[in-house]
Structure 1
C-alpha cells in the first residue's frame, strides 16, 4: 500500500512537471512525432525504407522490428489494457489543450511507447545506425505521452519494459528459427588417397 501511494505521488509530480514545464514549441514537435507514430505509421514507414535501402540487413531488421512491434501491441493493448482499467491523468493536472485529445481506454500501459521501443530495440542489433535513428522519435513518443496528459510516467515505463521484452523475445526466437530453417552448409573434405 505504501509503495502504491509513493508511486502515485511520483506519477503526479512528474506528470504535472512534464505538462507545465515543456515549452509549447517542444510540445508541438512532440505532438507531430506522436501523430506520425499513431497506428504505427512511423514505424511501418521506417521498416519500408530499411527494407528497400538496406539490402538483406535492412529486410532482416525491418522484419524483426515489425514483429516485435506487433507482439508489443498485442500484449499492451490486447491484454494489459483489458486487465487493468486505470483512468487517464486528471485533466486539471494538464494546463494545455492537448489534454482534451486523448483516448478513453485504460491508461495502463502506454501502447505507443511499447510499440516504439519494441521496434527500435529489435532493429538495433541488426542495423545499429537505423536503431539509433529510431531511438530519437521513440524517446519523443514516450515523453509526449506524459506531456500531453495521455499517460502517467509509470504507464510509459511499463510500456517501455514491454517493448524491450518483446524485442528481446523476437530477436531470441528469430535467431533460433533462422538456425533451424537455414542449416549451416557442411564442407565435404576428401580423405587423402580417395
Structure 2
C-alpha cells in the first residue's frame, strides 16, 4: 500500500470516528460554535472584545487578527478551493443531523479553520493571553468541521496550515515593506 493510500485511509477512518463522537458535550457545544463561526461572525465578535479589553495592545492584536483572517479567507476560499476539487465526506458516514447543512463547495481546505487559526495566531503574536483565549474556540471550530461532516481531517489540517501562513505573512509585511520600500 502506498503512502497516499495509507494517508487517505487514515483520513477516512478518523472522519468516521470523529463524526460518530456522540456525547452531551458535542451535542451542546459544537452546533453553536458552527453557527458563530459561519461568515466569521465569531472572529468579528472576538475582534471587538480584544480591541475593547486590551487598549493599544488589544487594538493592535485585533487589527492583526482581522488582516490575517482576510488573508486566510483569500488563500483558502479564493485560491486553493478553486484549484482543488474534493468531495465532502459521504453523508452516510455522518450519523447525525448536521450532515444536511453542508456547503456545496470543495471540501479542501477548511476555510473556517483557516480563518480561525489565522485570527488566533495573529492575536497570539501581538497579545499572547488573548491569543490563548481565542485558541479555545479555534480548536472547537476545527473539531466541529469534521464532526459535522463538512470536512475530512486533512482539510482541517490544510486550513490550519493556511491560517498559520496567513498570520506569518501579515506579521512579516511591515518588515518587508520597510526593507524594499
Q: What's the TM-score bracket when you normalise by the shorter of the two chains?
A: over 0.9
Show the counterpart of 2:54: 54
Task: In structure 2, list runs of 5 or more residues that go unmatched.
Answer: none
- What is the alpha-carbon distance in structure 1 between the residues aligned to residue 174 and residue 133 of structure 2? 22
Provide the TM-score with structure 1 as the length reference. Answer: 0.87
**3-state SS of the aligned residue for 2:88?**
coil
Partner of residue 118, structure 1: 118
Let me know the Cα RMSD of the aligned residues. Answer: 1.5
* Aligned partners of 1:22 and 1:147 also within 8 Å: no
Whole-angstrom CA distance in 2 between matches of 1:8 and 1:24: 30
* CA shift for structure 1 position 55: 1.0
Query: Which region of structure 1 is more displaced relative to structure 2, 26-35 or 146-155?
Result: 26-35
Aligned residues: 179
Alpha-carbon distance between aligned partners in 2 of 1:170 and 1:121, rounded to the nearest angstrom: 11
Deviation >6 Å, runs of 4+: none
Extract unaligned runs of 5+ from structure 1.
Answer: 181-194
Deviations 1:39-80 (A, max 9, x none): 111111111122222111011101100000000000000001
Going by fraction, where is helix more abundant, 1 or 2? 2
**TM-score normalized by structure 2?**
0.93
State the partner residue of 1:134: 134
Cα 1:48/1:175, change in 2 over 3 Å: farther
Larger radius of gyration, structure 1 or 2?
1
Residue aligned with 1:21, SS: coil
Q: CA deviation at 1:24?
A: 4.5
